[in-house]
Amino acid sequence: MRISDLLRNKGSNVSTANPKMTVAELIAALAENNVGALVVVEEGRVIGIVSERDVVRKLHRSGAAVLKAPVSAIMTTDVVSCVPTDHVDSLAEIMTERRVRHMPVVVDGHLTGIVSIGDVVKSRISELESDREQLETYIAGGR
């Protein structure tokens, strides 16, 4: 299965953040959108990603003052991304190796979707269930 197939089922709506918004505003956006990370976009281009984990670590190091800081101060700028033609299996491997839970889908520098580790797991479970059903049908037909 390709990322484009996954996005076709999931949808391509992505919650984003502005690099100038405060960390407090970011936290509110994470809660309102019920997501674990926001892609940081400026002038239509992906420039970073920021997760709940980033916020917690900065709060631990810097205290409550970080809530007034801009998102650009805590975001990850080395964004691991993928393209719609990538395979879900290869994405799972990359997410595991790079220890990322959210991966923006980017085409020509522009955000077209986002895939979470939960999406990858859900896709894999669906594939396994389909394989199981095919095997059961094959076995039942062979009797």
Q: Is the Cβ–Cβ distance between 2 and 88 less than 8 Å?
A: yes
Mean pLDDT, residues 100-115: 92
**What domains sit in the chain, N to C, each tagged with a CATH number?**
3-141 (3.10.580.10)
Calculate the CA 77 to chain-centre distance. 15
- What's the Cα-to-Cα distance from 86 to each of 13, 36, 81, 95, 106, rounded to whole Å? 19, 23, 10, 13, 11
pTM of the model as a whole: 0.83
Mean pLDDT, residues 67-89: 94
Backbone Cα Rg of the chain: 18
At residue 129, the pLDDT reads 82
pLDDT at 131 over 80: no
At residue 24, the pLDDT reads 97
Single-letter amino acid code for the residue at 115: V
Q: Give the model confidence (pLDDT) of 18-27 as tens digits.
A: 999 999 999 9
